[in-house]
Structure 1
Amino acid sequence: MSKPVILCVDDERIVLDSLRTQLAAAFGDAYIYEGAEDAEEALDLINDLNEEGISVILIISDWLMPGIRGDELLIQIHKNYPNVIKILLTGQADEVAIDRAQKQANLHRCLSKPWSEAHLLETIKSGLSKL
């Protein structure tokens, strides 16, 4: 059986690299850490993994990205994969977008950039404990 996936979505490669480094250091090889640079790539990756029988269990998404914004991405994902834990990580989300994600995507938490690694890991652990 394949390991579950934690997916990070951000249009800045340095953010994706930083997240994956922190996750791997904290959780080791318990999960597969994937990254996508925009919402379309993330949706394609989730669908491809699902077809291969690999579950995405948690998503950390930026809000302000080209094309589809993070709240809309999480709402779309929630419609097809309601059990995925969803975290918004942003420096620029407005309250309306966060509220919409909470109501329509069952948003676990919204964290601000720059993030505290300890707070991020605590948030992920609390999300994973719901599974």
Structure 2
Amino acid sequence: MPNKAILCVDDERIVLLSLRDQISKHFGDRYRYEVAESADEAWEVIEELIEEGVRLLVIVSDWLMPRVRGDEFLVRVHGRFPDVVTVLLTGHADEVAIERARRHANLFACIAKPWSEDNLIEIIKSGLEKADD
């Protein structure tokens, strides 16, 4: 099993499965592909990965989620894991939230919904190159 992972976080299951399927189709068995339907669930996944000795490389997080917005989640992730590449996926985020994530979560990229698979893969590929530096 791969010891590097990509995590997708979105409160819409169909979006999560679509992201996971598109990313895994492109990168194959080189990475683990994890999904979470909330920031709380994402933290559980992150803790499990740490326990298993799996290095989290990239997080793609939706912005508009219940309880914790994606920019807040990514800021917290960056505080604990500054090497994880953060990507915000959104159809609703305002410029203030995006700027906050850029400043405080070292936001690597922002992807608008609906996204193009080619754009998603290019961003993930660039993020993985950055993470492996």
Q: How would you bin the TM-score normalised by the shorter chain?
A: over 0.9
CA deviation profile, 1:83-126 (whole Å, cap 9, x unmatched):
00100011000100000000000000001000010011001111
Distance in structure 2 (CA, Å) of the matches to 1:75 and 1:56: 16
1:75 is matched with 75
Stretches (4+) displaced over 2 A: none
| TM-score where L is the length of structure 1 | 0.97
Q: Aligned-pair distance for 1:51?
A: 2.0
Q: Aligned-pair distance for 1:16?
A: 0.5
Report the identity percentage: 58
Q: Aligned-pair distance for 1:3?
A: 2.3
Residue correspondence of structure 1 range 6-21 to structure 2 within 5 A: 6-21=6-21
Distance in structure 1 (CA, Å) of the matches to 2:130 and 2:69: 25
Q: Kindly tell me the number of residue pairs found equivalent between the two proteins.
A: 131
Distance in structure 2 (CA, Å) of the matches to 1:60 and 1:18: 12
Distance in structure 2 (CA, Å) of the matches to 1:128 and 1:46: 17
CA deviation profile, 1:13-50 (whole Å, cap 9, x unmatched):
00011011101110000001000000000012102211
Residue correspondence of structure 1 range 15-54 to structure 2 within 5 A: 15-54=15-54
Distance in structure 2 (CA, Å) of the matches to 1:129 and 1:121: 12
Distance in structure 1 (CA, Å) of the matches to 2:35 and 2:44: 12
2:130 is matched with 130
Tell me the secondary structure at the aligned position of residue 11 of structure 1.
coil
Distance in structure 1 (CA, Å) of the matches to 2:76 and 2:48: 16
Question: Unaligned 5+ residue runs, structure 2?
Answer: none
CA deviation profile, 1:62-83 (whole Å, cap 9, x unmatched):
0000010000000000011000
| TM-score where L is the length of structure 2 | 0.95
Distance in structure 2 (CA, Å) of the matches to 1:86 and 1:6: 10
Distance in structure 1 (CA, Å) of the matches to 2:56 and 2:67: 22
Residue type of the alignment partner of 1:123 = I
The worse-fitting range, judged by mean Cα deviation, of 43-52 and 17-26 is: 43-52
Q: Aligned-pair distance for 1:2?
A: 4.0
